């Protein structure tokens, strides 16, 4: 009997994720209400929080944790034994999780872009110069986060398989390293803004610098993904969580 195809695994993973999110719709509604309150507080404070850009720094953390949850769920739902015995390569099993994590991340970024767009409309009423600065800040931050998505998703996979693999003792160190990765949006945003201050043509700065960062981060993402596959091939627990 032939095993499932990659597309079959992807569809099943996405359906499971959708059902889980629908099951926790109250939590999602609460998060949406919290975001609305924060934006309202931003208006009362006169822009001291930096507009919707403060939401951006939550997205890398959310991206990695969601991907970690996709892997950890197999153990928490006691389906790890079945999942690991599927007649498909280990790279397929993690590849589906990775693709699902990237899709969720892009949806989160699209939601952020929508919120930022609403905020931009409000800022545009105060003057074109403020609107231009807001659009530039949002666009720069969005590009930085999107370029780092593959690496952050791959790190979530690594945390997931390490938790249930032979290297589980390295889990605290990996989480500490992730804490540094989670700050990439902050220090990269500062670096880009500094470069833009030195060069008036900020679009030129982004276009010339972005391919280098994309290449480095995507190569790192591929390396982290490969390490995750090797850890799975070396053996992971099919029982309870450590």
The residues with which 236 forms a beta bridge, in sequence order, are 165
Query: Residue 47: pLDDT band by 50, 70, 90 thresholds?
Result: low
Local structure of residue 222 (DSSP, 8 states): H
The burial of 85, by beta-carbon neighbours within 10 Å (0-12 exposed, 13-18 middle, 19 or more buried), is given as: exposed
What is the per-residue pLDDT for 213?
67
Compute the half-sphere exposure of residue 136: CA atoms within 13 Å on the CB side of its CA.
17
Query: Residue 1: pLDDT band by 50, 70, 90 thresholds?
Result: very low
Question: Can you tell me whether residue 78 is helix, strand or coil?
Answer: coil
Domain ranges of the chain: 6-234
Query: Residue 182: pLDDT band by 50, 70, 90 thresholds?
Result: low
DSSP H or E segment with residue 66: helix 59-76
Local structure of residue 168 (DSSP, 8 states): G
Output the pTM of the full model. Answer: 0.74
What is the per-residue pLDDT for 63?
84
Query: Residue 44: pLDDT band by 50, 70, 90 thresholds?
Result: low
Residue with the bigger pLDDT between 8 and 168: it is 8
Most confident of 71-75, 112-116, 211-215, 222-226: 222-226
64 and 178 in contact (C-beta within 8 Å)? yes
Query: Residue 64: pLDDT band by 50, 70, 90 thresholds?
Result: confident
């Amino acid at each position: 009997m032939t095993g499932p195809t990659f597309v079959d695994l992807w569809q099943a993973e996405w359906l499971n994720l959708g059902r889980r999110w629908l099951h926790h719709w109250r939590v999602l509604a609460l998060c949406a209400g919290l975001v609305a309150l924060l934006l309202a507080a931003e208006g009362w404070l006169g822009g001291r929080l930096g507009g919707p850009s403060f939401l951006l720094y939550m997205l890398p953390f959310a991206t990695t944790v969601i991907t970690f949850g996709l892997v950890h769920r197999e153990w928490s739902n006691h389906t790890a034994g079945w999942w690991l015995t599927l007649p498909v390569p280990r790279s397929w099993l993690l590849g589906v999780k990775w693709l699902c994590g990237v899709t969720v991340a892009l949806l989160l970024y699209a939601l952020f872009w929508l919120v930022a767009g609403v905020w931009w409309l409000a800022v545009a009423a105060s003057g074109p110069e403020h609107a231009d600065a807001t659009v530039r800040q949002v666009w720069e931050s969005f590009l930085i986060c999107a370029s780092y998505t593959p690496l952050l998703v791959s790190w979530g996979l690594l945390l997931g398989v390490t938790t249930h693999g032979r290297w589980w003792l390295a889990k605290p160190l990996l989480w500490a390293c992730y804490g540094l990765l989670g700050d990439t949006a902050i220090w990269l945003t500062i670096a880009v803004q500094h470069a833009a201050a030195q060069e008036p043509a900020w679009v030129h700065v982004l276009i010339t610098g972005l391919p280098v960062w994309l290449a480095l981060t995507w190569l790192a993402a591929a390396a982290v993904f490969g390490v995750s596959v090797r850890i799975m091939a070396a053996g992971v627990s099919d029982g309870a969580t450590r």
